[in-house]
Structure 1
């Protein structure tokens, strides 16, 4: 069970731990998200989840995720904890994953987030407001379609693919709707790029070049997550 800090130890800043699916998301939090949140006195610490006893990143298992989140929430009672998981990387161990197939991606992510919130709060026995689950539709690379021109400026050779990627972006209402099949997921669309798109190398650099303002403008589900974070008040 969590315990409250003495009032005299209270501080005015918000401390947020972001449990990430992999090292790309971890770098994005450190280099792109954290510098924007810090002036609002919201200080973020990313952690990469261990998806197996010997590795980090990759496919997620609900039992391991729950243990990680429970242990993180129980470290202190005055921090907030959120997640940065790709919908594409989840599986049937997560409640709602199978039942929501075919639904719009943002609705599907929201349903899975609600179930995850219920599961983790019950498992960790924490205050419900301390846990803010976020599942990104369909994956991190969707955010990079917020500005194809700036994405293609990361490598000089990528400029020749700008029109093709712009057509992908133009085929959907927002980048978070880009298909999640093994052939047409956002990351698969980037396989046309040469030199090859490398998630850990290019992802955070492209996101920084695009900027959070543009990403929030283009990606509604991401924007809602950001707005929840920026609205946090110290516990």
Structure 2
């Protein structure tokens, strides 16, 4: 049996791990538990910075020595406190995410003293909502009134090599596109995990290579 804690950016990621990712991993003997980032004694989710992530990961890694720990952070939400965030800003999103992951791994291992194999960082290009563009029909199925936007959503998807390439400006990030286009409004915590579940992990993994590589790393974990 393999135990895995996934530190998520917020409640959307927490629900996605619990309802979509964990059942798939569980079928492979990987028991995943979601935990949102603690921002204060009672606050959870959002407001990522490197110091806060270090504190959260140090606490989780210290609880048990036989548990793996991973992350589910949006590249879009990171900032200059994270290693390589600024230096990689003109690179392909998956290359950029991988570069940040490598340096984050070095940083956390250095600050916590944990065994390197226990920490498997994942940074999602550009954000969780990119995964939903795997199948825009499933987005529209979440609310019948959204079907009138199917062509606009298909047009967005067709302009990019993969959903993970849909860009990350404050106007054109995947979540911003959904928020501005859909009416009734897209609600991240309510709709995101539901749509992802409708699409299914096999389709998401095939359409989103960086996410798929992370999933493959998790399924290859062996008991510590």
Q: Give TM-score scaled by structure 1 length.
A: 0.93
Deviations 1:182-215 (A, max 9, x none): 0100011102111100000000000000100110
- CA separation in 1, counterparts of 2:58 and 2:45? 18
- CA separation in 1, counterparts of 2:149 and 2:45? 29
The equivalent of 1:133 in structure 2 is 121
Counterparts of residues 180-195 of structure 1 (less than 5 Å): 180-190=168-178, 191-195=180-184
Out of 65, 71, 83, the position equivalent to 1:95 is 83
- The question of whether the paired residues in 2 share the 8 Å contact of 1:51 and 1:61 is answered with no
- The question of whether the paired residues in 1 share the 8 Å contact of 2:37 and 2:46 is answered with no
SS in 1 for 2:134: coil
User: By how many angstroms is 1:52 displaced?
Assistant: 4.1
User: By how many angstroms is 1:40 displaced?
Assistant: 1.0
Q: Is 1:207–2:196 an aligned residue pair?
A: yes
- CA separation in 1, counterparts of 2:132 and 2:218? 21
User: By how many angstroms is 1:53 displaced?
Assistant: 4.6
- The question of whether the paired residues in 1 share the 8 Å contact of 2:3 and 2:31 is answered with yes
Out of 14, 24, 27, the position equivalent to 2:12 is 24
Gaps of 5+ in 2: none
Deviates further, 50-59 or 121-130? 50-59
Out of 135, 146, 149, the position equivalent to 1:147 is 135
User: By how many angstroms is 1:59 displaced?
Assistant: 2.5
Aligned length: 223
SS in 2 for 1:129: helix
- CA separation in 1, counterparts of 2:47 and 2:126? 14
Q: Give TM-score scaled by structure 2 length.
A: 0.98
Q: Which has the larger radius of gyration?
A: 1
Q: Is 1:170–2:158 an aligned residue pair?
A: yes
- The question of whether the paired residues in 2 share the 8 Å contact of 1:85 and 1:134 is answered with yes
Gaps of 5+ in 1: 1-12
Q: Is 1:41–2:20 an aligned residue pair?
A: no
- CA separation in 2, counterparts of 1:122 and 1:76? 18
